[in-house]
Structure formats: structure tokens, C-alpha cells
Amino acid sequence: MNEPAVKNVTWAISDGRAGMANQVRGLAEAVGLPVQVKTVIPHLPWTLLPVTMWPSPLSALDAKSSTFEPPWPKVAVGCGWRSIPYVLAVKRLSGGKTFTVQLQDPRIDTKHFDLVVPPEHDDLKAPNVEAIVGSPNAVTRERLDAAAAQWRAKFDAFKRQRIAVLIGGKSKSHRFDENDARNLADQLKDLAPRYDLMITTSRRTGEAQTNIITNALAGTGAFLWDGTGDNPYFGLLALADVILVTSDSTNMAVEAAATGKPVYIVDLPGGDPKFTHLHKLLERRGIARKFTGEIAQWTYEPLNETARIAALIRRKIGLEPR
């Protein structure tokens, strides 16, 4: 019987949503093998079943999904519950040769994977679990340097201290209605006479809320990305002196923390224990402070949990000595 073919690549498996895709791609790239992004869009009735009970996950994929065929990857990294049946399928079809990594708490027995990487606040413990602060991301020194070179001319006229403002929006745990947008706009307008603001919103911000912020800052010289052209996100991280992040996003907080720049958390109404836990961890490490309207400077060792987990994976698959 022929042995399953395995290739020295890493598959980054998710349902394609930005929060999930950024995590798997960030960790996959850090492992150091060539990366292939795999997007999975399973359809009914499979999605009604527990993830360990899909008899044929590959036949459950929508036509817009990626293909899954040999050679199988050396490493498969999954994030989100929809990725789990496919990570397990790759493990099975590769004859156990693929090293499988699941991000977040999979809510099934961790023994199904070679490594599980949840955030610390999940308090998940098992021999193959390695908890991290926040979530993996794609922020590296090299990527920041490249983004700074790409965007420096755009912000050359910004001679005062530059503040990057990363705005999320409404979620299951946080509110961001038009009144909340006005409150945030007022806070930013107070900063505008003293600092150069570089602002980006997200898909969750909302059109009405974005318009409120844009109109409030009209004439201040603030930059607000309108969603057209190249995304300046990494450029803002690279060129900022200080970063403000709304409290609704784990990913943005951790990405800001990877820069070594002072991070302020701007509270939005709502929240839950996982966000509180993360923000307290960042505060204890000297990375973040609550935003109260004043801006200060401080230094800390950039948060680099992605590189730590990538090094662990490399050791486990034999690319580095144990």
C-alpha cells in the first residue's frame, strides 16, 4: 500500500473571516515553511453535527472553498470551529504524518490534535496545550519595516507625535452605536490640536458611525482610511508613536502590543471576562493602559507570542533542536 505523500508546507485553515484568517496565517508564516491558505465553507446539514461526527468533511465543502488533496502538509494550523473537521481529516488522510495545531479552545478533547494554542483566559490545561497572551498575528519587525518604507511618504507631513487609532465596532460583547461613535469622535477631536491622528476603522464599525467620526474630524488634518486603495494598517502600526485600540478587539490589541509602542485601550460599552483578562495582562506587562484622554510615552519588550509558538512547532517537527 502506498504511503500518503507529505510536503514541507504549512496549511493555514479557517473559514476566511479576517479575525480567524489573520491568526492562522500569522502563525503559519512564523513556522517558516511555505504557506498555503485553505478556506473552508461547509454547508448544511453537516454544520448541524458535532465537529467530530462529520463522516466525510471534504464532501461538505461549498464550491467557493479551497481544495484538499495530496500531497498533505507537514503542518496544518486551524482556527475556528469550522476548521476542526478539516484539520482532523488532514491528520487522518496523511496517515498521522501532518502535525496538527488548533488555535483557540476547540471545545473537544485536545487529544485530537498535536498541539492546541488557546488564549490564557480560557484556562485550558492538558499536556499538549500551550496557552498564549491574546492571539497569534502577522506583526513582525520585517513586516513593520517594509510597511514603514511603503507608507512613509504618505505621512511625511505629520511632524507632531503620531497616534494610530484602530477602531473596531459592534460585536457580541460590545456596543458601538451612533452615540458611542460621537463619544469616541469627541475624544479624538480633543487630541487633534496636539497630535497627528492616523485612523482606520473595520468592517464592524458601521457606515453611520464612520461618517460621524469623519465629519467630527473634518478640517483637523487627521487621516482616516476610507476603505479604498491599499490598506494602510501595517503602515499605521509602523509609523505611529502611540497606538489607541478600541476595547472590542483581541486581535488589534495584541497586534498593537507586538510593535513595542505605547498602547492605550479605549473602552467601548459592554465587554466580558476574556477581554478584561487580556487587558489586565497587557497592563501588568507594562504594555497597555486605559485611555483617559492623556498621552504618555513608555517602553516595553514587544509581545511576540507568535514567534514563541512557532519555535515550539519547529522543535516538535524536527526543524530545530529540542
- Tens of pLDDT along 234-288? 999 999 999 999 999 999 999 999 999 999 999 999 988 889 999 999 999 999 9
Q: How far apart are CA 275 and CA 253, in angstroms?
A: 10
Which residues of the chain does CATH 3.40.50.2000 include? 141-290
Mean pLDDT of 224-229: 88
Q: What is the pLDDT of residue 88?
A: 96
Confidence of residue 305 (pLDDT cuts 50, 70, 90): very high
6: nearest Cα among 74, 75, 55, 65:
74
CATH superfamily of 141-290: Glycogen Phosphorylase B; (3.40.50.2000)
Q: What is the pLDDT of residue 1?
A: 54
pLDDT in tens, 94-132: 999 999 999 999 999 999 999 999 999 888 999 999 999
The identity of residue 138, as a single letter, is: A
83: nearest Cα among 26, 31, 15:
15
Mean pLDDT of 215-223: 96
- Statement: residue 297 has pLDDT above 80: yes
**All three cell numbers of 276:** 478584561
Q: How far apart are CA 306 and CA 189, in angstroms?
A: 35
Average pLDDT over the chain reads 95
Q: How far apart are CA 272 and CA 203, in angstroms?
A: 21
- Statement: residue 185 has pLDDT above 60: yes
pTM reported for the whole predicted model: 0.89
Fold held by 6-133+306-316: Rossmann fold (3.40.50)
User: Poorest-confidence range of 42-46, 82-86, 154-158, 178-182?
Assistant: 42-46
- Statement: residue 34 has pLDDT above 80: yes
Mean pLDDT of 177-198: 97
- Statement: residue 4 has pLDDT above 90: no
What distance lies between CA 117 and its chain's CA centroid?
14
pLDDT in tens, 52-103: 888 889 999 999 999 999 999 999 999 999 999 999 999 999 999 999 999 9
Contact 118, 104 (CB under 8 A): yes
